[in-house]
């Protein structure tokens, strides 16, 4: 077995800082078909694992999928029930429109629904002016959020994605990161997955009725749960969607794609067919520790679940690193740190996750909880230096 580099943590506090889940960028060759898009990506929503990619880090124009960022900033502002007065500037915005009326008063929530379902550019400007104080102020917030969530190859110059700025761009990978972030918000999930929405009209007795432009959601793909469409003459067709099947949630992004509906369906079908959510680590006792001090005392607090193909399951390795016990000091169990080590999870020798290892004070752990039985022989346990350095 290939030896894995080991790093022993010298201070207990470092264990808290080291708890993270890293994204796995290894892409297995399970996608026989190609996509028509200039750039594309498919990821698993919760782990961020890349299941398929094609020039996913190429900077391109993105058109109205920009509005995913506009929507999530509006939602996070906490002002969704506020009433917005629509400016003449917003009403005069070119392109797709909600046909807002100058100086009309409309809830921010209604603007966000119109933004996502009908791709209203007038709604984008009205939202930006209200949430950001001005268009420039809102663009600052957009780029600030992009940097915060790790969109390294993105520059926002407007809230709608029109071709009126040369420095407005992103990548399929970055847009997948944005959608992953946005879908963690329940309000965004609800709006993104709404097929039809009604909003009151300020000058008529009838309501405005907005049908979602995302045909995957409304008619073409029963597993689609949401998304955002986009098109400009320079960006061509862009599309971000989400889909769920058998408990697995996926995100697909295509940029400059003449056949985006079919490409998203093909990516989803292959992803759902080839990958399964696998419980790599089960919550509970770590039962494969031979060290007498730690035996029946070490446990993990949660499961670790990861999308894998059948062929990949045997490529997963687990490595536990434990503090060397200070038996004299630890005679009083109150001196034993809660976290006594870490469990690193590898797939094809690349890190895909890390869990803290906890010490059970008092009675031994009696639960006989299996710990990824198929690879238990691949465990490596390392006793490190003392916790006091």
* pLDDT recorded at residue 23: 39
Q: Strand 316-324 to strand 380-386: parallel, antiparallel, or no bridges (unpaired)?
A: parallel
Mean pLDDT rounded to a whole number for the chain: 87
Average of per-residue pLDDT across 120-129: 98
Residue 67 annotated to the active site = yes
1 lies in a domain?
A: no
Same domain, 321 and 218: no
Q: Which residues pair with 285 in a beta bridge?
A: 299
How does DSSP classify residue 169?
Answer: B
106 lies in a domain?
A: yes
Distance in angstroms (rounded) separating the CA atoms of residues 335 and 273: 50
Same domain, 254 and 114: yes
Cα 63 to the center of its chain, rounded Å: 21
Residue 119 annotated to the active site = yes
Residue 64 annotated to the active site = yes
- 147 touches 31 (CB < 8 A): no
Same domain, 242 and 331: no
Same domain, 336 and 197: no
R_g over Cα of the chain = 25
pLDDT one-digit tens code per residue, 229-279: 999 999 999 999 999 999 999 999 999 999 999 999 999 999 999 999 999
Tally of domains within the chain: 2
Boundary residue ending a domain (218, 246, 274): 274
Residue 362 is encoded by which pair of tokens? Answer: 């008092």
58 lies in a domain?
A: yes
Same domain, 289 and 187: no
Distance in angstroms (rounded) separating the CA atoms of residues 230 and 63: 5
Q: Catalytic one among 39, 96, 119, 170?
A: 119
Boundary residue ending a domain (249, 274, 299): 274
Span of 12-16, 69-73, 188-192, 230-234 with lowest mean pLDDT: 12-16
* pLDDT recorded at residue 11: 34
Q: Catalytic one among 64, 96, 170, 266?
A: 64
Given CA atoms 375, 301, 366, 9 in this order, what sign does their dihedral have? positive
Same domain, 237 and 345: no
pLDDT one-digit tens code per residue, 143-184: 999 999 999 999 999 999 999 899 999 999 999 999 999 999
Q: Catalytic one among 54, 67, 145, 236?
A: 67
Same domain, 338 and 251: no
Boundary residue ending a domain (256, 274, 292): 274
pTM recorded for the entire structure: 0.84
Same domain, 223 and 119: yes
Same domain, 336 and 263: no
Residue 373 is encoded by which pair of tokens? Answer: 């039985």
- 252 touches 245 (CB < 8 A): no
- Provide the b/e sequence for 192-228 (b: ≥16 CB within 10 Å): bbbeebebeeeeeeeebebebbbbbbeeebebbbbbb
Who contacts 181 (Cβ-Cβ below 8 Å, separation ≥6)? 72, 149
How does DSSP classify residue 36?
Answer: S
What CATH number does the domain containing 380 carry?
2.30.140.30
178 lies in a domain?
A: yes
What CATH number does the domain containing 83 carry?
3.40.710.10
Range of the domain at 258: 39-274
Angle at 86 between CA 83 and CA 90, to 5 degrees: 140
31 lies in a domain?
A: no
């Amino acid at each position: 077995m290939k030896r894995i580099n080991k790093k022993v943590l010298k201070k207990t506090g470092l264990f808290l800082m080291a708890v993270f889940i890293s994204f796995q960028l290894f892409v297995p060759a399970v996608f026989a078909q190609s996509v028509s898009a200039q750039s594309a990506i498919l990821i698993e929503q919760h782990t961020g694992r890349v299941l398929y990619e094609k020039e996913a880090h190429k900077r391109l124009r993105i058109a109205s999928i920009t509005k995913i960022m506009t929507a999530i900033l509006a939602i996070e502002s906490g002002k969704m029930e506020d009433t917005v007065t629509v400016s003449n500037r917003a009403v005069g915005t070119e392109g797709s429109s909600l046909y807002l009326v100058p100086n009309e008063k409309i809830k921010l929530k209604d603007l966000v629904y119109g933004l996502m379902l009908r791709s209203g550019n007038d709604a984008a400007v009205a939202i930006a002016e209200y949430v950001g104080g001005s268009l420039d102020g809102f663009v600052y917030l957009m780029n600030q959020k992009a940097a915060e969530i790790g969109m390294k190859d993105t520059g926002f110059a407007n809230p709608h994605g029109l071709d009126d700025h040369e420095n407005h761009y992103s990548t399929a990978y970055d847009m997948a990161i944005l959608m992953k972030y946005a879908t963690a918000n329940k309000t965004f999930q609800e709006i993104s997955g709404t097929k039809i929405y009604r909003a009151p009209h300020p000058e008529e007795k009838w309501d405005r009725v907005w049908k979602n432009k995302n045909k995957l959601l409304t008619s073409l793909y029963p597993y689609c749960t949401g998304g955002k469409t986009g098109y400009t003459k320079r960006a061509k067709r862009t599309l971000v969607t989400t889909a769920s099947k058998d408990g697995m949630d996926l995100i697909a992004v295509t940029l400059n794609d003449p056949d985006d509906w079919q490409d998203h369906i093909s990516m989803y079908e292959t992803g759902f067919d080839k990958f399964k959510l696998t419980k790599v680590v089960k919550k509970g006792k770590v039962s494969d520790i031979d060290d007498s001090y730690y035996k029946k005392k070490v446990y993990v607090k949660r499961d670790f679940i990861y999308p894998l193909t059948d062929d990949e399951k045997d490529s997963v390795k687990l490595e536990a690193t434990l503090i060397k016990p200070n038996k004299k000091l630890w005679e009083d169990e109150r001196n034993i740190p809660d976290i006594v080590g870490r469990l690193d999870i590898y797939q094809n020798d690349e890190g895909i996750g890390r869990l803290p290892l906890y010490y059970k004070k008092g009675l031994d752990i009696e639960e006989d909880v299996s710990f990824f039985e198929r690879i238990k022989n691949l465990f490596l346990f390392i006793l490190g230096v003392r916790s006091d350095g």
